[in-house]
Amino acid sequence: MTSAIEAAPATAPADLMTGFHHLELWVGNARAFTHLLQSGFGFTCVGYLGPETGVRDRVTYLLREGSIELAVTAPLAEGSPIAAHVARHGDGVRSVALGVRDLAQSVAAARRRGAHLEGDGGADGETPSRTASIVAYGETRLQLVDAALDGAELWPALVSEGLPSVASGGPVGLARIDHVVANVEEGRLDEWVAWHRSVLGLKEMRHFDADAIGTEFSALRSTVLWNGRDVVLPVNEPAPGRRKSQIEEYLDAYVGPGVQHVALATEDIVGTVDELQRRGVRFLVPPAEYYPEARRRVGAIDLPWGELERLGVLVDVESGGYLLQVFTETLGDRPTLFLEVIERRGATGFGEGNFKALFEAIEREQGRRGNLDPTA
């Protein structure tokens, strides 16, 4: 892993980033996972590649909702790297792709700053034509992608005919990726913060110490990195001595660091969550005492409290405004990847006032799985 660079070059990949481009998930059954995203979350399948398109070792479904693009890939060959990855980690996010205005300049800057690139942007020094993959925490990759290309253009073998479709309800209203959160091993947070700053040129937005966010089991340290605009990448580590926190459970189940959750933004969280619940999506339930306390904490802001409580939506307020958020249960059988739905009304934070309620809800799920006992 690359250490922090003392005097990084002036130009950084972060300076050229235009936002999240897409996420690629590696899963055991791409057709089933695609159906979950279509029927549960309202995504539309806009492309497919596989044996029918001349690709023999994998299948990929490209899904879109608002400006969110997800590529869901599963292996067809037993000995493929995708099969090995899924066998070890289960379903999860393999690549976080970030759009950049000038791919060649971004790759050159990343390489000067010590990035380890693979594939198109590998050691041969040639400029990639479409995307460059940077080795990040664990087996996760951060990709730099020409922002002018959409997902279909990145995979020339994609076809757009005969795609699976699901009619499950009304519009969901998910609009864009708000942030992508990583979990890393205890004691490595500062190292990975330095990596994001030195290699990508991201800046520290916020930092949370264990004494600020925690319960008996779920204390953690977290630093939020961003490009100052639209790429937000928080990184978490478990707090020392809390070995069965939610972060440690993730690291055990995923067998190493990786993407813990993806936050998807909406302009109407009540309508979005109402539709998601009608479609069968399951969310974490806040403790019963949360809403009386939240009303006192939030104060005079006019909110549909009855609807928020019915749907389990959490509320946090800060000087710039407020936010509303809710968290799904994990998407797969392992307690790893989950989604957040968030609506921002002037707030730039991450629901600090909701951390305790969120952690308690997660701990109830951990308890049901038998994973709160440090000896488990």
pLDDT at 354: 67
Q: What pLDDT digit, counting tens, does each position of 1-28 carry?
A: 444 444 445 689 999 999 999 999 999 9
Count of Cβ atoms closer than 10 Å to residue 256 Cβ:
16
pLDDT at 310: 97
Q: Which segments of the chain belong to CATH 3.10.180.10? A: 13-154, 174-369
Q: Is the pLDDT of residue 305 over 90?
A: yes
CA distance 260 to 270: 24
Count of Cβ atoms closer than 10 Å to residue 57 Cβ:
14
Q: CA gyration radius for the chain?
A: 20
Options 3.10.180.10, 3.40.50.2300, 3.40.50.300, 2.40.160.20; CATH of 13-154: 3.10.180.10
For residues 307-315, give the mean pLDDT.
95
Rounded to 5 degrees, what are φ and ψ at 246?
Answer: -60, -35
Contact predicate 272/342, CB 8 Å: no
Count of Cβ atoms closer than 10 Å to residue 373 Cβ:
10
CA distance 200 to 37: 30
Q: What pLDDT digit, counting tens, does each position of 141-164 carry?
A: 999 999 999 877 888 888 999 999
174-369 is a CATH 3.40.50.1980 domain: no
pLDDT at 5: 43
Please give the mean pLDDT across all residues of the chain.
Answer: 89
The beta strand positions in the chain, using DSSP E, are 17-26, 44-49, 58-65, 68-75, 92-100, 117-118, 131-135, 141-146, 174-183, 203-208, 220-226, 232-238, 258-266, 314-318, 321-327, 338-345
pTM of the predicted protein model: 0.91
Burial of 274 (0-12, 13-18, 19+ CB in 10 A): middle
